[in-house]
Amino acid sequence: MSKIISILDYSMGNITSVQRAVQRCGFECNIIHNGKEIREAEHLVLPGVGHFGKAMDFLRKNELDKALQEAVLEKKVPITGICLGMQLMCKGSEEGNTEGLAWFDCEVTRIHVQDSLRYKVPHTGWNLLEKNGEQERLKDLSPDDRFYFVHAYEVKTAPIDEVLSFSTYESRFVSSLIKNNIVGFQFHPEKSQDSGLKLL
């Protein structure tokens, strides 16, 4: 019997496309909204499109941050963060100048480019992943698999043992993170067609 995948709705959008992609992968999926549901989840997804500071304010106001800490750090529930969801897993962000969940030892900063004619911010479009060594989570991907990004903030550096992959947009940045039961993707696997479904 496969696990039920629980997607947390914290008013930051991007829920329906994630739900459809998870279901296309053959998993049962539900949308959850409160701490009780977080604590009872078998596998969590933290999606999101929006503002880091507003997202953290919502999580704190509704005590969802406490429920997430309990589920993920104490109960070791597997969790996948997507785009803003990955950024919230970091120590903090320049977007709102506020602290995050601090599961990864890195900061989120505004994307800065030198060649503003060629490289626009936000970074929007398809990009490749550069695996950080041999990564079991990425073993089914080919070097030509491309993933869809939409972000104006990024993780520039992180402890190398927490990096799952890098990507390059004028300069290299961290495109996915991993630590124990926690995985984060800066890109959108749910919008990345066959490559994204393969990864999910």
Q: Is 61 exposed, middle or buried (0-12, 13-18, 19+ CB in 10 A)?
A: exposed
Which of the residues 37, 95, 154, 190 is marked catalytic? 190
Q: Quickly list DSSP for 70-134.
A: IIIIIS---EEEETHHHHHTSSEETTTTEE---SSS-EEEE---S-TTTS-SSEEEEEE-EESSS
In the numeric block, which tokens belong to residue 27?
A: 């998993």
190 classed as catalytic? yes
Separation CA 17–CA 31 (nearest Å) = 12
Neighbour count for residue 103 (Cβ, 10 Å): 24
Which of the residues 37, 43, 83, 123 is marked catalytic? 83
CA angle (27, 161, 60) in 5-degree steps: 60
Separation CA 38–CA 42 (nearest Å) = 9
Residue positions annotated with a catalytic role? 83, 188, 190
